[in-house]
């Protein structure tokens, strides 16, 4: 298991806010003791606590496309990553992490790529070029994900409620098999997660480890 935290569209971009997000990310430390990562882009923050399963030596998150304009924080495992990677012959991968494929698929297919994923996952992807983002959770809901709204209109995502409860005015359990796509704005009235058409089947026999403690 890993821990993810994303805070998007904050009003306060001070060093104190950055420190606060790092503090909240550490509440998820028990989910990923192998590596901690933080990406900051203007008023957006993505954090990650990693438990290394696939590519333990070079798969530290956060994960990026070639020019780092697309950044992903993800908890989970993409079982068909080799098949998907074979479709991306023009892309250069920085790691052999199964989850890096998410950033490159987004570049190639847009939000439609979510329907191509076979696995267990919860992720937040930020496109820094226009500050759009996608958050998604696997169809069965093996990997946990919560969504919250801050008083300043910011949007939050986390693997556990404990990273949201003190800083969000309200929060929900992000439903399995859904995604949120948002472009150029954040709002407390943001559209709720919508159902994704799922063609894949989740087969734990394909996993490198049993789907437990996610």
CB-based contact 188:153 (threshold 8 Å): yes
Give first-to-last CA distance, the chain, whole Å: 4
DSSP annotation of 130 reads T
State the pairing for strand pair 155-158/170-173.
Answer: unpaired
Residues known to be catalytic? 2
Tell me the C-alpha distance between 25 and 19, whole Å: 10
Secondary structure (3-state) at 112: helix
């Amino acid at each position: 298991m890993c821990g993810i935290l994303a805070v998007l569209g904050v009003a306060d971009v001070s060093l104190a806010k950055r420190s606060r997000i790092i503090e909240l990310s550490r509440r998820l430390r028990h989910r990923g003791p192998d590596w901690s990562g933080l990406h900051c882009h203007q008023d957006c923050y993505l954090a990650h606590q990693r438990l290394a399963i696939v590519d333990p030596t070079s798969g530290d998150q956060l994960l990026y496309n070639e020019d780092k304009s697309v950044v992903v924080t993800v908890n989970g495992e993409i079982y068909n990553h080799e098949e998907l990677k074979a479709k991306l012959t023009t892309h250069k991968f920085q790691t052999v992490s199964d989850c890096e494929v998410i950033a490159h698929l987004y570049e190639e297919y847009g939000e439609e790529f979510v329907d191509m994923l076979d696995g267990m996952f919860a992720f937040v992807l930020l496109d820094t070029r226009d500050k759009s983002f996608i958050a998604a959770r696997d169809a069965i809901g093996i990997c946990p994900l919560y969504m919250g709204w801050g008083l300043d209109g910011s949007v939050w995502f986390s693997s556990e409620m404990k990273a949201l409860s003190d800083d969000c005015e309200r929060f929900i359990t992000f439903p399995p098999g859904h995604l949120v796509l948002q472009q150029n704005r954040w709002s407390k009235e943001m559209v709720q997660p919508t159902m994704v058409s799922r063609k894949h089947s989740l087969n734990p026999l394909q996993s490198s480890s049993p789907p437990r403690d996610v």
